[in-house]
Structure 1
Amino acid sequence: MECGKNRIGKVLGCLLVFWWFLGWAGVVWADWSVWDEPVVYYDFESVQGDGTTLIKDRVGVNDLTLTTTGSGVTGTKTGIGAEAKYGRKAEFDGVDDYGIALDTAVFSQTGSFSVEAWVKFDTVSASESAFQTVVAKWDETLDIRSYRLIIQADADGRVWPKFQVSPDGTAAAIKTATGTTQILPNVWYLLQGYYNATSPGTIYLYVNGVREGSVSSVGTALSDTAADFYLGVTKTGAGSYTGYLDGSIDEVRVFSGTRDEGSLAYAMERGRPVVRLGFDDGSGLQTMNRLENYTRAALVNFPSDNSQWVAGNDNYALLFDGSDDYVDLGNHGRFQLGGAMTISAWVYVSSLGNYAIVSQPHTNGYTFQMTSGGELSFGPVGGSVVTSSGAGISAGEWTNVAVSYDGVNASFYVDGRLVSSPALSLWSVTGGSVFVGRAGATPNYFNGKMDDVLIYAYDRTLFEVYVDVIGAAVKFGKTQSLEPANAQVACPSGFVHVPGDPLYGTSDFCVMKYQAKCDADGDGVGDTASGAYASCNTGYDTWGNILSGCRCIEDMGGDVVSTPQGAPIARIAQNAGGSGVDARTYCQTQGWHLVTNNEWMTIARNLERLGSNWCALNGTGCGNSPGSQYLVAGHNDNGPALALQASTDDSQGCYGTVTKDVDPTCGNGATQRRTHYLSNGEVIWDLAGNVWEWTDDVVRGPNKPVGGGTSWVDWSSVSDYGVLSYDVLKPSDSSWDLNKRVGRYYQGGSSNIDYAFLRGANWNNGSNAGVFTLSLNNTPGNSGRSNIGFRCAVSP
């Protein structure tokens, strides 16, 4: 069917035909919705009584009472509050109050059903097995458990969401699906538990509309228990309760029957995408994922002159060279293939080829590509993909391409037209980084322009695919000039912007791109410890700050700078106890501060998620999913046996690692990569290796994490964190060890004195080096080490 004479005309014409057909068929537009109707719904807007105790069921007669087990004097009594996810919310104090609705048939779901709620926790407990209840039809008094949504701390003190059912009501029969999103306080989450009774019976946990956990062989029916329905508590006995929720709940719904991925996702911000890359940044080496909570993606191997930003189908587009550049979205749970997904993009190629559009290139990851025959393909990386039939993609024009996968069929679309829907069975996908413009071991780098990339965690319908096409296809009025929307944050010279992380309580900040150097002659560039400053050389090409006449500020009248040139400042204390000649004071003198451990961990956790930082040991073959290959660990092999200057060219990541001050090109000899990408495209040098770095933190000897004493150990063997916690020490995956080059731990002395945090390792620490390496063997006043330096940070 031809609906118009050109691409835009076809899209508009076909959409008008589509609308006419639906109208002729008697579709009532006001009633159209992909959102299933719940059998119980509490939105906390309609209340009775005193306005704080009786909550109306918006779709039935199952009203819910907010009550308390005590006098309420130990906390703020449960009530209705403002500033909810939508409108008003129920508030719980975590001490003695909860909500209850008496059991009825709509709560006693024995077949397929789902339950969901928006929840925000004011506090979370790191005590192992401590849990908070969100919703529960669960009574342990007489073994009448049915289902519940909870969060619970693991042995490392990290808190995860869980959906539990007990098919027969007993403790022994409990099945648990656990999510992969770490729960933090003061963040809204949509938690959804879904039981599909179709044999063999499977439970699923969704977080923010994305499937994160599942358990099969649950059985094809649940017992009809007499347990009541609770909010914010689990009943354990006659008049006894546990698992009180400290926080707020909103939009509680129970659904009867099966649900598809689109229905579950629609409850999350009305089915919005998880990725929306408009490529309208217009400059820089990052692109924004422009959703409610912006995230950033790194442009890898793109030119630094902004020539990649070109006129697109809608404002700017991104130009890929087909050689080695791609966009690294990082490893996030919401980008993974659960039960379904949709990917769409506008593409423009000068000639047809086998080009990757979006891929998650882990083993059995997913990939969406164009073929040299003008078709589209989708399926597992390295496995049997399916290919469209009749796509007819042409070179030299903008084309919208999409795949909508429901776990059974992959439906391919071109300009909103359904092309074909070949069968494709759902496969198990391990989490990994998602790339735009690159696939796996056979990268098939995209060669052309790309615009408006969308990823959804569910299968979009034909109508919804049309909506996405029209959203970027229609322009009214005159042709508009390009409008850049770059969100790069300005930092001082020699600093890079680091996105904040709520896990560490950090907002966006700036950190030195290079290890701190001394500008002794005032030209704004770090000086080498040679020539006129040869007496300041420690013998390892570091700047010996305590050597006679070598104090950078006091003796030289110099400044601390972040430049690729120069010898890293060493032989400097973290905190010299008021003398002023220490890393902390040197940073403060410039109006900055010594980087904190929380800032260090913000950086380390950011870069560990990017596949572009996982490479072969010689710095080649980068672009692997986190946990495969090796996390870049810097100059650490003692060759050369000294500290190195950096290059002024970030593409020379292995600079100096074979011959001092010479770029060998990674892979040409015993090279090691010294650069890491951040999620916003910034590049940071020597976060691992070269010289150790002080951070502005201390811990008393008896309070240290326990592990190894005076021997190096892997983080995977450390489970007693002393007064610290998992997340301030280790990588996100507890199994990563020296075989992944993430870094190791050295406990050191146990005297009842302060020990300072040293991170990253130096040029001769070998496999002990890494971005998560930590040594607690040095006191803050130690200024005698030629291999310890620092870097500063500052708020933008």
Structure 2
Amino acid sequence: MLSYFRSSLFTFCLIIGLSGCNEIKVNPKALQREIGTVGSSDIVFAGLTSIDQVTDTTMRLNWTNNADASAYQIYRMVAGTPSYITTIPAPASTLTLTGFTPNTSYTFRVRALDSTGATDVNTTTQTITTNLAPNVPSGIALQTPSASPSLVSTPTIRVSGVKSGDVVKLFTNSLCTAQVASGTAAGTTIDLTTSTLAVAAYTFYANSTNTYTHTSACSSATVAYVISSCPANFLGVPFNTNVGTTTDFCVAKYEMRCVGASCPTSTPGVNAVATSQSSGTPWTNINHPDSITACSNLNAINGVSNKFYLISNPEWMTIARNIESVDSNWSGGTAGSGVLPIGWTALNSGPAPSTDASCLYNTGSDTCAATGAFKYRRTHTLSNGEVIWDLAGSVWEWIDWIVTPANKAYVAARPINTAQGFEEFRDLDVNVGATDEMKPSTWQPTFLNLTGADGIGRYDPGINSTGGYAVRGGAFWYGDSSGIYTLDVNSEPNASYGILGFRCVYRL
């Protein structure tokens, strides 16, 4: 009954009597499916073009997508015979396969299917051998803290370019023998926190080990990290980019004392050394330039360069923000609840020496249990557990910050040609915008709904045509106007008073 082929269609002639015949054109692929024979598609498909991204257990197959293809069938060749793996819909040009055995040869074929389900007839194959070991980790980055140098001795390092299920190890040497962290990856990256490390400079490397116990080479990717320490009686402070610090730093635990044969004096020198210590009273009657010098002199005394400075306003704000966020610094037990301690401020005769006791009050009995004592506590605790003394109260402290007098914040409804006195932060309405010299984030508390009576502190602009040299914290007879955020920008650089001292920092 089959008479001839025409244009890839079967032509059948049905004889009806003697009058002739009619042609019925039938799609051969449909007929082949119907009769169960394996046919071919008209699609011209080159097949598999390459295999890349080969690891010990994974690989990627690549081909050129054909616009006429509806899907692609993937085969693994076993002893020359195609073994079906999967079918994926078009358009597609890659497929990543997993679950292979390391150091093993594999051969694959890809065929295109048309809309009827028929395949092309390409016989192209590609062969690869999986790696023996996992890929070498391709990236290493400092995760926590986000900057170096730092005081954190257990940094967290992110290792990338790894494979789920691999054991990733972190080392401090290029041979990958000094291990400091390890973990099993759940994806292409893993964060590893080191064991406690000593103060030193480190370079971290990594490798990976697969489930077959094969280990990659040590990474060429590295990250450097420096762990620093603070000088004696200086405390570590975590940085805060929101207020302008980008690395950790150290701050004097106490207001600076004058130690040496020339003390007491207003002039720092080899016989008058700024010292952070509990004994003695704060170094006062020192002006702004000399307080800068006193801190700077500590560099040569300690055999370092460019480490000791007068505390800057961003550094002060970093400490204040940190204190403000710690629940135990609030009488209500939660940040923003109750009052913050305002220190030695209850009209005493002068600043008192400090001790290393956990708290000391100026309430007469100097005991933690005294009624109302919390408000006058002289210590604040940082988020890292460090305890700083007399940041509020005791004596004013010079800050390395000068505000242009005309740009001082003030209350517009009051005259600016005379001293306005102490203002509540929430009452300020001029020169406190986001782009002004005194934008709020640079000097104001977070809880602006609170007042000086809540321990936040207050602000004194003085006269808006003079001064501008900043002092912070308040002093021993300022009562509720003292506080960790208290700020006065009414001073001239040569001001020198018995209620004005300073504090140094050590920058890592």
TM-score where L is the length of structure 1:
0.33
Q: Which residue of 2 aligns with 1:558?
A: 272
Q: Which residue of 2 aligns with 1:731?
A: 445
Question: Letter of the aligned partner of 2:378 in structure 1?
Answer: R
Structure 2 distance, partners of 1:613, 1:714, is 21
Structure 2 distance, partners of 1:755, 1:497, is 29
- Deviation, 1:287, is 10
- Deviation, 1:598, is 0.7
Alignment of 1:305-704 (within 5 A): 484=196, 489-506=228-245, 507-521=247-261, 536=264, 545-546=265-266, 551-553=267-269, 557-575=271-289, 582-591=290-299, 592-615=308-331, 624-638=333-347, 640-649=348-357, 651=358, 653-655=359-361, 657-659=362-364, 663-667=366-370, 672-704=376-408
Question: Letter of the aligned partner of 2:284 in structure 1?
Answer: A
Question: Letter of the aligned partner of 1:688 in structure 2?
Answer: A
Q: Which residue of 2 aligns with 1:771?
A: 484
Question: Letter of the aligned partner of 1:600 in structure 2?
Answer: W
Structure 1 distance, partners of 2:154, 2:195, is 15
Structure 2 distance, partners of 1:774, 1:486, is 38
| Runs (5+) with no aligned partner, structure 1 | 1-29, 31-59, 62-274, 276-283, 293-466, 468-481, 523-532, 537-544, 576-581, 617-623
User: Could you say if the C-alpha distance between residues 520 and 724 of structure 1 is closer, same or farther in structure 2, counting changes exceeding 3 Å?
Assistant: same
Question: Letter of the aligned partner of 1:714 in structure 2?
Answer: E
Structure 1 distance, partners of 2:360, 2:390, is 11
- One of 464, 470, 493 as aligned partner of 1:757: 470
Structure 1 distance, partners of 2:328, 2:437, is 34
* Identity percentage of aligned residues: 31
User: Could you say if the C-alpha distance between residues 772 and 486 of structure 1 is closer, same or farther in structure 2, counting changes exceeding 3 Å?
Assistant: farther
CA contact (8 A) 1:520 1:552 kept: no
User: Could you say if the C-alpha distance between residues 763 and 287 of structure 1 is closer, same or farther in structure 2, counting changes exceeding 3 Å?
Assistant: farther
User: Could you say if the C-alpha distance between residues 486 and 608 of structure 1 is closer, same or farther in structure 2, counting changes exceeding 3 Å?
Assistant: farther
User: Could you say if the C-alpha distance between residues 290 and 767 of structure 1 is closer, same or farther in structure 2, counting changes exceeding 3 Å?
Assistant: farther
Structure 1 distance, partners of 2:231, 2:489, is 31
- Deviation, 1:739, is 3.6
Equivalenced residue count is: 285
**Are 2:424 and 1:710 aligned?**
no
Q: Specify the structure having the higher radius of gyration (Cα).
A: 2
CA contact (8 A) 2:341 2:378 kept: yes
Structure 1 distance, partners of 2:296, 2:153, is 33
CA deviation profile, 1:117-136 (whole Å, cap 9, x unmatched): xxxxxxxxxxxxxxxxxxxx
Structure 1 distance, partners of 2:344, 2:336, is 20
Q: Secondary structure at the match of 1:615?
A: coil
CA contact (8 A) 1:713 1:745 kept: yes
User: Could you say if the C-alpha distance between residues 686 and 733 of structure 1 is closer, same or farther in structure 2, counting changes exceeding 3 Å?
Assistant: same
User: Could you say if the C-alpha distance between residues 730 and 508 of structure 1 is closer, same or farther in structure 2, counting changes exceeding 3 Å?
Assistant: same
CA deviation profile, 1:585-618 (whole Å, cap 9, x unmatched): 11111121110001100110111111011126xx
Mean alpha-carbon deviation: is it higher for 786-795 or for 705-714?
A: 705-714
User: Could you say if the C-alpha distance between residues 792 and 716 of structure 1 is closer, same or farther in structure 2, counting changes exceeding 3 Å?
Assistant: same
- One of 498, 503, 507 as aligned partner of 1:786: 498
CA contact (8 A) 2:269 2:297 kept: no
Higher relative contact order structure (alpha carbons within 8 Å, sequence separation ≥ 6): 2
CA deviation profile, 1:11-68 (whole Å, cap 9, x unmatched): xxxxxxxxxxxxxxxxxxx9xxxxxxxxxxxxxxxxxxxxxxxxxxxxx99xxxxxxx
Q: Which residue of 2 aligns with 1:334?
A: none
Structure 1 distance, partners of 2:257, 2:495, is 19
CA deviation profile, 1:754-791 (whole Å, cap 9, x unmatched): 521110001111111110000111111111x1101000
Q: Secondary structure at the match of 2:488?
A: strand
Question: Letter of the aligned partner of 2:344 in structure 1?
Answer: H
User: Could you say if the C-alpha distance between residues 666 and 287 of structure 1 is closer, same or farther in structure 2, counting changes exceeding 3 Å?
Assistant: farther
Structure 1 distance, partners of 2:389, 2:352, is 11
Q: Secondary structure at the match of 1:763?
A: coil
CA contact (8 A) 2:367 2:373 kept: no
Question: Letter of the aligned partner of 1:767 in structure 2?
Answer: D
Alignment of 1:179-194 (within 5 A): none
**Are 2:454 and 1:740 aligned?**
yes
- Deviation, 1:681, is 1.2
Structure 1 distance, partners of 2:505, 2:369, is 29
User: Could you say if the C-alpha distance between residues 586 and 718 of structure 1 is closer, same or farther in structure 2, counting changes exceeding 3 Å?
Assistant: same
- Deviation, 1:669, is 7.0
- Deviation, 1:668, is 5.6
Structure 1 distance, partners of 2:461, 2:339, is 24
CA deviation profile, 1:562-581 (whole Å, cap 9, x unmatched): 00111101111112xxxxxx
Question: Letter of the aligned partner of 2:439 in structure 1?
Answer: S
Structure 2 distance, partners of 1:483, 1:730, is 38
Structure 2 distance, partners of 1:612, 1:289, is 26
Structure 1 distance, partners of 2:383, 2:156, is 14
Q: CA RMSD in A?
A: 3.4
